[in-house]
Structure formats: C-alpha cells, structure tokens
Amino acid sequence: MAPHPLDPIFHPRSVAVVGASSKRGPASFVDHLIEQGCPRVYPVNPRGGEIAGLPVYPTLASIPGPVDHVISSIPASLVEPMLEEAGAKGVRSIHFFTAGFAETGEADRLALQDRIVRRAGELGVRLVGPNCLGLYVPASGLTFAGGCAKESGPVAFWAQSGTNANTAIYDGQLRGLRFSKVVSFGNAVDVNAAELCRYALADPETEIVGTYIEGLPDARDLFAALRALAAEKPVALLKGGMTQAGARSTRSHTASLAGSAEIWRAAVAQVNAVLVDSMEEAIDMLVGWRYDAVPRGGRVALVVGGGGVSVQGADDIAAAGLTLPDLSAATAEALREITPIAGTSIRNPVDTQALWRGVGLAATLEAIAADDHLDALIVQAGHGWGAVSSPGDARKRQARLLSELEQATPRLTEIGKPVAVVVPSSHEPASARLNGELMQQIVAAGYPAFGSIPAAARTLQRLDRWRARREARG
Amino acid sequence: MAPHPLDPIFHPRSVAVVGASSKRGPASFVDHLIEQGCPRVYPVNPRGGEIAGLPVYPTLASIPGPVDHVISSIPASLVEPMLEEAGAKGVRSIHFFTAGFAETGEADRLALQDRIVRRAGELGVRLVGPNCLGLYVPASGLTFAGGCAKESGPVAFWAQSGTNANTAIYDGQLRGLRFSKVVSFGNAVDVNAAELCRYALADPETEIVGTYIEGLPDARDLFAALRALAAEKPVALLKGGMTQAGARSTRSHTASLAGSAEIWRAAVAQVNAVLVDSMEEAIDMLVGWRYDAVPRGGRVALVVGGGGVSVQGADDIAAAGLTLPDLSAATAEALREITPIAGTSIRNPVDTQALWRGVGLAATLEAIAADDHLDALIVQAGHGWGAVSSPGDARKRQARLLSELEQATPRLTEIGKPVAVVVPSSHEPASARLNGELMQQIVAAGYPAFGSIPAAARTLQRLDRWRARREARG
C-alpha cells in the first residue's frame, strides 16, 4: 500500500524553527525538539548567534541542508515572505504556531489567512494550523512540549486545541498511553480532522484514535472519514461547542463553525465512534481500549475499603447504567473465609479491609473475577482523602497492595474480565504524591487506571455498549 | 436559651478510650486526642502499662476522676459489661467505634445491638454509633483522626459514614472550611440525623450544615428537622443509597433502610436543602456558603488561559444551566487595551494570557466584575496538565497570579459578585503539588476554590437557585 499523502509530514529529515528565540524554557521549540531526539534542528532568526549550542541561521535559504518541516513562531505580519522562502527551499510542511488569523474575527487577518492558504497550495507546501502546537511524533523526534515520552505507541490523537493536545499526551502517558502521532491543528486551514482520520485508518502504527474537534467546514467529508475509521479502529471523539456558548467560543478560538449538537450526537452514534464530554473522558476511553478492558456485559463488582465509599460507589455505578448483581453463594463463601466480619461486607460492593491491610487482596480479586454473575471488576485503591499522617506506612500499604495485585495478575488474565483500578486525585500534596506514584505503579503492572469510580463505571459502560454495537454490525 | 440536650456530648470534661492499643499511628484514638489538645484522656486496657506517656487504667472504674465520654474500640462481644461499668461511672456518652452489629445482617448481632440500646437508655447513657468514627469538636479537643484543624469554624457535618466524615474534614479544610462539630454516627441507634439537625438549628456555633445520610428509620421526624433547619441555615445533603444497588449496600454498611430516591428528591427540594450527588459536591456547596459566593442570577463570565479550555468551559457552564452573556462594549474596550490580540479572546469566555504571564490579571478581573451583564466570575488558575518542566518558573507565575488576585480583592469585594477560582487536581506529582499549594494560597487570599470548571459552575447554579427559592418564600 502506498503511504498516505500526509505521511511525509510525520517523517521530516530536518526541522527549522523560524523565529527561534534565545529565551529558553517551556516555550522553546528548539529545546523540546533536542530533548525529544529530533535528528536535525535548525534555529532561524535574523539576529543569528547560537541557541542551545546550535548555530542560528538568519534565513531558511541560508541553511546548508534540506529542510522538510518548518515551525513558524514569527508574528502573522511576517509570515508571507517566510512562506515564499520556504517554497523556494523545498519545504514540505509548515506548522504555524503563529496565531492572529481568522480566529481574531478581523477582516484583514482573515484575508491574510486566505492568501497564505492559496499561496501554500501553489507552492505545494502543506500547512498545519495556524494557531496551534503542531506535531508530536516520538518515532521522528518531533514534539511541541517538554517531558513527552520517547517511545511510540498505538494511540493517535487529533486535537483542534493545543491545551487538549497537551492534556492527551501528559495525562495519557501517566496512565500508560503511548502515541503514534499527536497533531494540534488549530484553525485547520489545510490539514484537518477528516484528512487526519483517513490517515489514521491507513496508518499501521495507529490502532486507537482520540480526537477533539471544534468545527466542521465539510460535515459530509468528516463523517465519511469517521465512518470508515470507526469501522476498523476504536474512536473517542470530544466535540467542542456543543452548547451555544461553547459554539460561540469555537469562533474565537479556531474560527470554527461548531454545527448543531443534535446532528453531532446522531452522526457520531451512527458511525459507532464514542462521543465523550471532556478530555478526561476521552483519555478514559483510550485507556480502556489500550488495556483491552472491554467487558462482555454490564454486570460489575465493586471492591472497596470503606462503607461510605461502598454506598456512593454502588450509586455511581448504577447511575452509569451498569448493574451490581449479588455474588454467587460460592463466591460469598470463598470471601467469608478470608474476610473478617466486623466493618466489612461480602455482598456487592465488597467492602474489604484487604485493600487497607494488603493481605488477602489477591484471593479476594481472584474469587470475585471467577464469579459467573460478573463481567468486570472495579477496584478502589489509594488514599481517598486528606492528610497522610504517616507517608511511610502508606507506602508500605501501597507496596503490599501492589504485590497482591501482581500476584493475582496471572489468574485475572486467564479469566480475562476487565479489572479497572481507581486511584483518586487530591489537592493535599502528600496524598496527591502518594496517589500519583500508586497510579504509575498500577499502570506499570498492566492495569487500566481511572481517577474515580464514576469515571471507571462510565468507561466500562461505554466500552460495553461500543462492543455490543460493533458486534451487532457484524 | 437552654442548651440542647445533645450539647454535653460535645463538651466532655474527660474522655476514656476503652480498648486503647499500645499500637501507635493512624488508628490510635489516644494519639489523635492528644494531638488535638483534648484536656484529659484516659487510656483503658486490662493489660495496663503506658500509652503515649499516659498511664493505662485496667477498667473505667479505676480511673480517678469523672469520665464524661467513652470511645469504645473493644470487640462487640465485650461491650455489654463495659456499658454497665460506664453507667456506674456516670459516663454521659459512649461512641462505639466497635462494629459488628446489625450491619452484619446476623440475628445474634442485631439482638446484641438492641440489648445495648435498651440498657443504655435505662442507664441514661447516650450512644454514638455503633460502627462509626464519632466526634470531631475542635473547641473541645475531640477528634477521630490526625491532622485535623485546631480552630473551630461555622460548618457542622453529620455523616453516617466514617470515610465521608474524614472527607468532609480533610478535603474541607484544604478549601478553607473550619468546623463547629463533625459527627460520624454509623448505625444511628441513638444519636441520629434528625436530632443532629435539631441540634444544628439550636447551636450558635453552627451557621452552615452538610450531612450524609444513608437511612431514615423515621422519615417524618427527619424531614421535620430538616425543614426547620433549612429555613434558618443553609443545608447540603448527600443521600447514600439513591439507587437500588446503593440502597442494598446501605444495609451492609449501617443497617439502614434507604427509602425511595423520588421521595428524597421531592422532600429535600421542598425544604430547600440542596441535594448533591457526591461528597465533592457537598463540600463545593459548603465552600460556596462559607465564602458568600451566592450569585444574584445565573449570568457568568469565564476567565481562562487557553482556547481549548475556553470552549470546554463554556460548554460545561452552559450544561450546568448558567448563561455566558456577551460582555458590554465598555468591558470589551477595557479588555482590548490590556490584552494582546493573537491567541486570546475578549469575548466571554475571556481567554487571556494574563493568567499565564500574571500581568494585567487584576485589571482584567476588575473590568469584568464591573460589567452589569454578569452575576459571577469563574477564573481558571493552576496547571491544567501534566509534567511541570520548570517548577521554579511555575512558582514564580503562581506568585504573580496570586499577587494580582490580591491586588484586585478590594475592588472585587466592593463590587460583591462571587469570584470562584478553579484549581485543577492532577495525578502528576509535580503538578499536583504546585496546584495543591496554589489552592491553599487562593483559599488564604479569601476566595472560594473549586477543583474544576464544571464543579464551580454547578455550585454557582445551585447557590443561585437556593437563593431564589429562599427569597420566594420571604
């Protein structure tokens, strides 16, 4: 199969950063590209000098080797001559970090955007943006931010927002996601969601797709691309501007016309993509697919340590459209043998001190997973609240919990039901640190991790419904 | 006014911990009481010896002075003789940390619970619990956990779950709440939600009430108490067991019959208490009242730093039932003067780099707050995502943000519209720590802080509706 026409954008031999600043730090593309291992980076700035040990070229023309990709961080008013230079240099793609185009709502800036698009088309230069963060492609050493994983993975994320692209990468990698490609594509004057979805379908490195879309200049094209993609690969879709107020703000953000919420809901359901309501929910779905946590039904057991959490968790799971069936007599008997009676429950939810004491957790999980009445487990781990009086004790408990979880892994894998582990977040620094560490350990142990019981429940429910629809279509 | 009959429970001259263990740490009531400043603590254990430098008494009878309050952490099977001893010693109240009664569903344990209740009544001893954490009363040095604030405050929380009582205290105090009394009352065989609500109405130290309730043995009594309380003081109520699955688990947890969700919803709305769906939402409401963040209408401005967040935030706010009106021409003009055009928006949401750069934020907030089209502001602060490449830079930005916020405080106070500040949580340790610190600084600066834009929006909407209902009743 011939590579998709977008493919070269993701594999540049070299990258020039036009408007590279000697100011280092979080906003420096040059620093980030070097850290990411980009094989050839050329800073460009008429001031010359050096940035991060690299010579700064005054112009694109003065760069000795070929330049495949350009990152533009010059002001909008300087973009036209740079585009001419890029065309002459044989540049294949330009990512416009530069903002201040159609999204400002000002006529002269819209006209400028139109001129650039037309001229880039004549020159055969593909455009990403403007008004966006561009490309993260670990295999090519491309990135727009620091601290991004160097390994590739099966997830692609297409985001019409730089913040959401960052959220996908940062929050996603904490939860075990690794990416084939992430594209922040802003005003989408050339590379857009539809083309990226067609690319994802063709891309052998991409198995799972998430996308954040604000506008649809061509709804028919986008839904056709989504339909083809979702028939082959799972797709989670977040739509910005589902309300009137949100739609108005897509115009200020990426000059996008948002379209009606009803049409989106209907169209996305029809193609069996999963429409979510926040970036957290998008990442939850990607985690579910990545860890094969797709249940074959909606019957869930909740395993917690604490009565209030049991009740709230049961309410949350039922509200998400799942059921909490009674455990079988055999399961109850097995649990009774390993669970002290006071302050516990061996009904469903199972309220067990095994989660606190870290003793008997493996046996508890194995007994529950084997129960034929159930399709999935949700296990609450971590510190639900407040100050940690003894971080040392807490770490010991966490280590025991993890060791029991690992001990149970072979049997749980054999049984094959999803085991979603919940690690809450916190604003209390000590709890937050402990829970952050625990989440990373749980992810490293191969489990899908979620930030709350409602999040885990909603995800399992959506995965189950997605599976059922997919099977119904053959 | 004569003190309420429950009042003595909250002001014991001394506390005996029966079944005190020489094991120290998170589960040690003795340690926690000493840390909290309880003036007189008597550990009781037939083994004798010393705990935390205090002599251990073999029996209640052997304690030299009077004992007003007993914390029981002996097994259920030993409780009856202890109760006799307590009666003889003139004890006023016993808190049964001891579990293993009616909530086990076993007939002999239910019978034991019934015998204890009857006998305590005969002896004139009030019971808290069983199967609960008991009392946190900072003014009396009473607590059930370590790390609780020593200062009192205007909030009472009545929780039929120990976990939720802890959540109220720990998560609440991070967000500026201080408590008059917190009671974890478990199976509620004697002291129950209705009596605690009557107490809250009478208690001059309590201005705001939150409660978590699982069961209602006497619905008429509870709703009468709630009605009287909510007519005078704001009440947030979380009901455990609103679904069938949750209701089943209230039986295992506190032997409670949950009642029907429809009746609860109707009854709570009728008395103008605010029914919430999670502990986080309960704390959100208490924070709203505590910081006087009650808007006089549903028109909100959102101030953020980032386009994707603008769109999502606008969708979230609209979904919460609030509106995001256009700003007035005068406000837009004032903002245009202080906001660069590229990558920003001065529509509503206002997408301003002032939040990142920390320059111009005071002027931005003051201009928006003065706009007659608006009833409240939601301001997103903190790190929305992932790894912090430079904690030093982030701290400097936070310091500038805080300084601008403080600079704006006099004018914002004069205008008097709620300004809800959002500080997200994170599982990334560095972000989590920075955001935790920022939240504490924002709380110290006198602002109500929330964990997400949806949480802030939902709270403002509920506060506005609560205010409107209250005013409609005169």
- For the cut 90, the answer to whether the pLDDT of residue A452 exceeds it is yes
Q: Taking CB atoms and an 8 Å limit, are B252 and A345 in contact across chains? A: yes
Q: Side-chain half-sphere of A423: how many Cα atoms within 13 Å?
A: 26
Q: Chain A residues with CB inside 8 Å of B163's CB?
A: 306-309, 384-385
| Predicted pLDDT at B242 | 87
Q: How many helices (H) and strands (E) does chain B have?
A: 17, 18
Chain B nearest C-alpha distance from A228 (Å): 27
Higher pLDDT, A280 or B243: A280
The amino acid occupying position B175 is: R
- What is the ipTM for the molecules in this complex? 0.88
Q: Using CB atoms, pick whichever of B26, B279, B433 lies closest to residue A432.
A: B433
Residue in B with minimal Cα distance to A350? B249
Chain A nearest C-alpha distance from B457 (Å): 14
CB atoms within 10 A of CB A357: 15
- For the cut 50, the answer to whether the pLDDT of residue A385 exceeds it is no
CA atoms of B197 and A101, how far apart (whole Å):
59
CB atoms within 10 A of CB A74: 17
Residue in B with minimal Cα distance to A256? B311
- For the cut 50, the answer to whether the pLDDT of residue A386 exceeds it is no
Q: Which two tokens stand for residue A31?
A: 């620093």
At residue A333's C-alpha, the angle toward residues A330 and A335, to 5°, is 110
Length of chain A: 474
CA atoms of B369 and B289, how far apart (whole Å):
20
| Predicted pLDDT at B305 | 83
Residue in B with minimal Cα distance to A422? B427
Chain B nearest C-alpha distance from A27 (Å): 10
Q: Taking CB atoms and an 8 Å limit, are B243 and A147 in contact across chains? A: no
Chain A nearest C-alpha distance from B1 (Å): 36
Determine which of A72, A101, A184, A249 to mutate to test the interface with B (most B C-beta atoms within 10 Å).
A249
Q: Taking CB atoms and an 8 Å limit, are A393 and B26 in contact across chains? A: yes
Q: Is the alpha carbon torsion for A154, A159, A165, A167 positive or negative?
A: negative
* Tens-digit pLDDT profile for residues A227-279: 999 999 999 999 998 888 888 888 777 777 767 888 888 888 899 999 999 99
Q: Chain A residues with CB inside 8 Å of B451's CB?
A: 427
Q: Using CB atoms, pick whichever of B307, B384, B429 lies closest to residue A253.
A: B307
Determine which of A171, A179, A211, A315 to mutate to test the interface with B (most B C-beta atoms within 10 Å).
A315
Q: Chain A residues with CB inside 8 Å of B317's CB?
A: 245
Chain A nearest C-alpha distance from B326 (Å): 10
Chain A nearest C-alpha distance from B28 (Å): 11
Chain B nearest C-alpha distance from A474 (Å): 33
The amino acid occupying position B161 is: S
Residue in B with minimal Cα distance to A162? B308
Q: Chain B residues with CB inside 8 Å of A423's CB?
A: 427
* Tens-digit pLDDT profile for residues A353-380: 777 666 788 999 999 999 999 999 999 9
Element containing residue B396 per DSSP (H, E) = helix B391-415
For B10, B29, B425, the CA distances from B36, given in Å and listed in that order, are: 14, 10, 29
CB A318, CB B246: distance < 8 Å: yes
pTM for the model: 0.91
CB B200, CB B225: distance < 8 Å: no
Closest CA to A6 of A274, A216, A185: A185
Q: Taking CB atoms and an 8 Å limit, are A306 and B163 in contact across chains? A: yes
Q: DSSP states of A182-200 as a string?
A: EEE-TT-SSS-HHHHHHHH
Q: Taking CB atoms and an 8 Å limit, are A385 and B171 in contact across chains? A: yes
* Tens-digit pLDDT profile for residues A318-360: 999 999 999 999 999 988 888 776 667 778 998 887 776 667 8
Q: Chain B residues with CB inside 8 Å of A212's CB?
A: 308
Q: Which two tokens stand for residue B33?
A: 């009481």
Q: Taking CB atoms and an 8 Å limit, are B319 and A243 in contact across chains? A: yes
Q: DSSP states of B323-392 as a string?
A: B-PPPPHHHHHHHHHHS-STT-B-SSSEE-THHHH-SSHHHHHHHHHT-TT-SEEEEE-S--SS--S-HH
Q: Chain A residues with CB inside 8 Å of B76's CB?
A: 342
| Predicted pLDDT at B383 | 58
CB A13, CB A73: distance < 8 Å: no
Q: Which two tokens stand for residue A99?
A: 């903002």
Question: What are the start-end ranges of the E strands in A122-234?
Answer: 126-128, 134-136, 152-159, 179-184, 208-213
Q: Chain A residues with CB inside 8 Å of B75's CB?
A: 342
Q: Taking CB atoms and an 8 Å limit, are B75 and A146 in contact across chains? A: no
Q: Measure CA B63 to chain center.
A: 36
Q: Taking CB atoms and an 8 Å limit, are A171 and B253 in contact across chains? A: no
CB A240, CB A161: distance < 8 Å: yes
Q: Taking CB atoms and an 8 Å limit, are A432 and B439 in contact across chains? A: no
| Predicted pLDDT at B385 | 44
Percent of chain A with pLDDT over 90: 71
Q: Side-chain half-sphere of B34: how many Cα atoms within 13 Å?
A: 14
Chain A nearest C-alpha distance from B104 (Å): 7
* Tens-digit pLDDT profile for residues A155-174: 999 999 998 999 999 999 99
Residue in A with minimal Cα distance to B249? A311
Low-confidence ranges of chain B (pLDDT < 70): 1, 25-26, 258, 341-343, 356-358, 383-390
Burial class of residue B137, CB neighbours in 10 A (0-12, 13-18, 19+): buried
- Using CA atoms of B196, B201, B206, B212 in order, give the dihedral in degrees to the nearest 10: 40
Q: Chain A residues with CB inside 8 Å of B27's CB?
A: none
Chain A nearest C-alpha distance from B473 (Å): 32
Q: Chain B residues with CB inside 8 Å of A345's CB?
A: 103, 249, 252-253
Q: Taking CB atoms and an 8 Å limit, are B241 and A315 in contact across chains? A: yes
Residue in B with minimal Cα distance to A384? B167
How far the first Cα of chain B sits from its last, in Å, is: 26
Q: Taking CB atoms and an 8 Å limit, are A314 and B174 in contact across chains? A: no
Q: Using CB atoms, pick whichever of A25, A170, A433 lies closest to residue B387.
A: A170
* Tens-digit pLDDT profile for residues A425-449: 888 878 888 888 899 999 999 999 9
Q: Using CB atoms, pick whichever of B166, B167, B427 lies closest to residue A436.
A: B427
Mean pLDDT rounded to a whole number for chain A: 91
Q: Chain A residues with CB inside 8 Å of B157's CB?
A: none
Q: DSSP states of A80-92 as a string?
A: HHHHHHHHHHT--
Q: Which two tokens stand for residue B120?
A: 């305590």
Residue whose pair of structure tokens reads 């301001």 in the numeric block:
B379
Q: Which two tokens stand for residue B436?
A: 């935790």
Q: Using CB atoms, pick whichever of B170, B385, B425 lies closest to residue A385.
A: B170
CA atoms of B29 and A400, how far apart (whole Å):
25
CA atoms of B431 and A146, how far apart (whole Å):
14
| Predicted pLDDT at B389 | 57
Determine which of B248, B427, B441, B443 to mutate to test the interface with A (most A C-beta atoms within 10 Å).
B427
Determine which of B132, B211, B310, B315 to mutate to test the interface with A (most A C-beta atoms within 10 Å).
B315
Q: Taking CB atoms and an 8 Å limit, are B306 and A161 in contact across chains? A: yes
Which of A141-150, A209-218, A337-346 tops mean pLDDT?
A: A141-150
Q: Using CB atoms, pick whichever of B324, B345, B433 lies closest to residue A253.
A: B345
CA atoms of B348 and A249, how far apart (whole Å):
7
| Predicted pLDDT at B345 | 76
Q: Which two tokens stand for residue B282?
A: 């309960």
